[in-house]
């Protein structure tokens, strides 16, 4: 199987850890949505027209997020990655030198996390990191600029989930 085919095979996979975070976020957003729908504007009185508009926008944002998460969960298969450190792949943690800064990411099929600590395999950097081994370098482009990276460490899934603890905020990449 070629590297591109292998990468595509991860497209509908989620790690067990990330699936749990997505379910938690979905449930939290559903509760927020219920609260908005049952309490209207929450008893706050600003300007009635502005408040109604803000309320409707909040409902729409929450509904969209819940639907996105449900689609991800519905069309994904949950897996528990092997604890391997030979190459960067789904479920690993990876510490890289990006330019002159050290960065640590949890590698997933979708970006899930606050503070940018979860890297999608399908992002520009994720695609370039996929399959790299410790010590290997590469470049990827951002806004026409080439950034150089070097893989410093590949962290096995069991330790990566403890170290990075991704939080539930979904960014579709």
Q: How many CB atoms lie within 10 A of CB 99?
A: 9
Q: Collect all residues with Cβ–Cβ distance below 8 Å to 11 and sequence separation of at least 6.
A: 109, 122
Give me the pLDDT at residue 46, please: 46
CATH architecture of the domain 3-78 equals Orthogonal Bundle (1.10)
Which candidate, 32, 28, 54, places its Cα nearest to that of 41? Answer: 54
Fold of 80-171: Chitinase A; domain 3 (3.10.50)
- Residue given tokens 């590297």 in the structure block: 3
Residue 89's pLDDT is 87
Radius of gyration in angstroms for the set of CA atoms belonging to the chain, rounded to a whole number: 19
Q: What is the pLDDT of residue 172?
A: 38
Task: Give 70-82 pLDDT, tens digit per residue.
Answer: 888 888 888 777 7
The closest of 141, 42, 43, 131 to 94, measured between CA atoms, is: 131
Domain boundaries, the chain: 3-78, 80-171
Q: Percent of the chain at pLDDT above 90? A: 25
10 or 88, which is more confident? 88
Q: How far is 67 from 75, CA to CA, in rounded Å?
A: 12
Average pLDDT for the chain: 79
Digit-coded pLDDT (tens) for 107-144: 888 766 545 688 888 888 998 999 999 999 999 887 88
pLDDT of residue 134: 96
Measure the CA–CA gap between 141 and 68, rounded to whole angstroms.
28
pLDDT-derived band at 173 (thresholds 50, 70, 90) equals very low
pTM recorded for the entire structure: 0.65
Q: 153 pLDDT band (50/70/90 cuts)?
A: very high
- Higher-pLDDT residue of 108, 50: 108
């Amino acid at each position: 199987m070629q590297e591109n085919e292998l990468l595509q095979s991860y497209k509908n996979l989620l790690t067990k850890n990330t699936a749990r975070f997505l379910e938690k976020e979905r449930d939290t957003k559903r509760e927020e949505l219920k609260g908005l729908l049952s309490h209207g504007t929450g008893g706050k009185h600003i300007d009635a027209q502005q408040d109604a508009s803000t309320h409707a926008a909040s409902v729409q944002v929450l509904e969209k997020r819940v639907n996105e998460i449900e689609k991800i969960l519905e069309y994904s298969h949950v897996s528990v990655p092997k604890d391997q450190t030979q190459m960067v792949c789904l479920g690993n943690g990876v510490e890289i030198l990006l330019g002159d800064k050290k960065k640590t990411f949890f590698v997933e099929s979708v970006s899930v996390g606050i503070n940018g600590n979860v890297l999608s395999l399908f992002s520009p950097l994720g695609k370039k990191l996929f399959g790299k081994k410790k010590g290997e370098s590469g470049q990827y482009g951002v806004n026409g600029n080439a950034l150089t990276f070097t893989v410093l460490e590949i962290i096995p899934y069991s330790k990566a989930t403890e170290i990075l603890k991704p939080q539930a905020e979904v960014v579709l990449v």
